[in-house]
Copies of this chain bind each other. A is one copy, B any other.
Amino acid sequence: MSVMQPAERRRLQSRADARRAILDATEALLVEDGYEAFSMRRLADRCGYTAPTIYHHFGDKQHLIDALLDERCQGLVRTLRRVHQSEDLVENLRAFSGAFVRFGLRNPTHYALLSQPRDPGLPVPPAAEEARVLMEAPLHGLAAAGRLTADQEMVGQSLWAFLHGFILLRTTRTDVEWRKDGLDVGIDAFLTGFVREEASR
């Protein structure tokens, strides 16, 4: 592997700067006005480049959005890693669920975009998949300890469905008065149904 020349480095830096500026403007537009109001032309106006330049750097709208979502999910992954992993696996599961839901509620536009059906060709943003894998760790521990009343995959899919619906309903149905302690109560009921105190066999 050869040493990078100063010129090459400068070129890569300027490319990185352009991508950074475009991504930042994308983020700002999405947070301010939501995805519905987002367009490549408005983004071009906002970030100072013209639309074809954005295409030069990101390919198309989908890849641009995916790049942004991947970055955001890296934030979630960092949060999940930071969440205290106690010896109490149940407490662990609760903490992860809380972090995940908080991510969704604080980034409703991003979460909605992540939830939309994807072209089967394109893979889910890597960091999103990484977050999903991380979330499974406490379940794996509980399964290994024989404390689940169903197999790990089953419990994981059920928990995922609950958390997913929880986030989407609260972010899309703003006409409903949602209970503030809904997550804790729901998770408790969920744990009552799927986790027992001690190993059975």
Shortest A136–chain B CB gap in Å is 13
Q: How far is it, in angstroms, between the C-alpha of A124 and the C-alpha of B190 when the chains are bound?
A: 29
Check if A37 is an interface residue, CB within 8 A of chain B: no
Q: Kindly identify which residue among B115, B150, B181 contacts A172, using a CB–CB cutoff of 8 Å.
A: B115
Asked if residues B154 and A182 are in contact (CB atoms below 8 Å), the reply is: yes
In A155-173, the 8 Å CB interface with B consists of 155, 157-158, 160-166, 168-169, 171-172
Q: How far is it, in angstroms, between the C-alpha of A181 and the C-alpha of B117 when the chains are bound?
A: 23
Shortest A86–chain B CB gap in Å is 22
Chain A interface main SS type: helix
Stoichiometry, as copies per complex, reads 2
> Which residues of B have CB within 8 Å of A164?
164-165, 168-169
Q: Kindly identify which residue among B118, B168, B189, B191 contacts A165, using a CB–CB cutoff of 8 Å.
A: B168
Shortest A37–chain B CB gap in Å is 12
Check if A8 is an interface residue, CB within 8 A of chain B: no
Residue total for A at the interface (Cβ-Cβ under 8 A): 41
Q: Kindly identify which residue among B161, B166, B188 contacts A186, using a CB–CB cutoff of 8 Å.
A: B161
Check if A50 is an interface residue, CB within 8 A of chain B: no
Asked if residues A193 and B189 are in contact (CB atoms below 8 Å), the reply is: yes
Q: Contact string, A180-201, partner B, CB cutoff 8 A, digits 1/0? A: 0110011011111110000000
Asked if residues B158 and A182 are in contact (CB atoms below 8 Å), the reply is: yes
Residue of B with least CB distance to A151: B179
Q: How far is it, in angstroms, between the C-alpha of A116 and the C-alpha of B36 when the chains are bound?
A: 11
> Which residues of B have CB within 8 Å of A188?
193
Residue of B with least CB distance to A170: B161
> Which residues of B have CB within 8 Å of A154?
179, 181-182, 185
Query: Contact residues of A with B, CB < 8 Å?
Result: 112, 115-118, 120, 124, 149-150, 153-155, 157-158, 160-166, 168-169, 171-172, 174-176, 178-179, 181-182, 185-186, 188-194
List the 6 closest A-B pairs by CB distance, nearest first.
A165-B165, A189-B193, A164-B165, A161-B165, A192-B193, A158-B186
